[in-house]
Structures are given as structure tokens and as C-alpha cells.
Amino acid sequence: MEEWIHLNRAEEEINLLSPLTWAYVGDCVYELYIRTNLVNETNLKPHKLHIETIKYVKAKSQAKLLEKIYDELTEEEKNIVRRGRNAESHHLPKNANVQEYKYATAFEALIGYLYLTKKWERLKEILCKK
């Protein structure tokens, strides 16, 4: 993927982006990862793929995954998570409580940050813990 997606910002510049921007990218990266895995691992039809995908990408599931991996994160990654969790969003969650939503945003921020900074191996390690 890195051959055809051109990321042209320096890490210092990425550090200055809003954690909600990281989460915006992380949401997409994580959902694409889940969808791709389901297509590779199952023979489900599109509607069933969608239903199965939701189980992983909903806020409650992402919050639980972050809780599961938190102790294995580096201090830098924990800082990214903290910034993502504390980012002020004016969006109210539909299917999660506020705490789950904040932790899901923190998880997405971490995924987005790792993706934007091209830390492919670490991103893969974290995604494979699904």
C-alpha cells in the first residue's frame, strides 16, 4: 500500500495535527483493515460482511481493544492515546456512552497517527491484536 499512497508530511508536522484528524484517518484505516480481513477469511455476502464489520468498528469494541493493548503501548503511543481521548469533539455518540466514544476516538487517533507517520510494522502489530 505504501507504494501508491503518498504521504508528504514530516513527522513533526503530523505531531501538530489535531488528534481528531488522526482519528479521522484511523477510522478509515481500521475499517479497511477489518473489511479486508473479513473478505479474506470468510465467504460472506456484502450485507453479512457489513454486519460482521460493525462488530469490530463500533465504539464499544474499539474501546475494549484499546484497554486490552494499553499496557503494551510505548510512552509515545500512550501520549497519542491521551491526546485522542481528551480531544474535544462536539459529536454525540449514538450507540455508545461518552467514555466508550472517547476511548474509541483515542484508538482511532493512535491508528491514524501510526499510519500517517508510516510506522507500518507497529501499525500491523496493533491491528493484528483484533
Per residue in 7-39, pLDDT (tens digit) is: 788 899 999 999 999 999 999 999 999 999 999
State the pLDDT at residue 1. Answer: 54
Helix, strand or coil for residue 17?
coil
CA distance 120 to 95: 31
pLDDT, tens only, 41-78:
999 999 999 999 999 999 999 999 999 999 999 999 99
71 is catalytic: no
Measured from the Cβ of residue 110, the count of other Cβ atoms closer than 10 Å reads 29
State the pLDDT at residue 2. Answer: 55
pTM of the complete model: 0.92
- Residue 130 confidence (pLDDT) above 70: no
Active-site residue (options: 19, 22, 23, 27): 27
Domain ranges of the chain: 15-127
The top-level CATH class assigned to 15-127 is mainly alpha
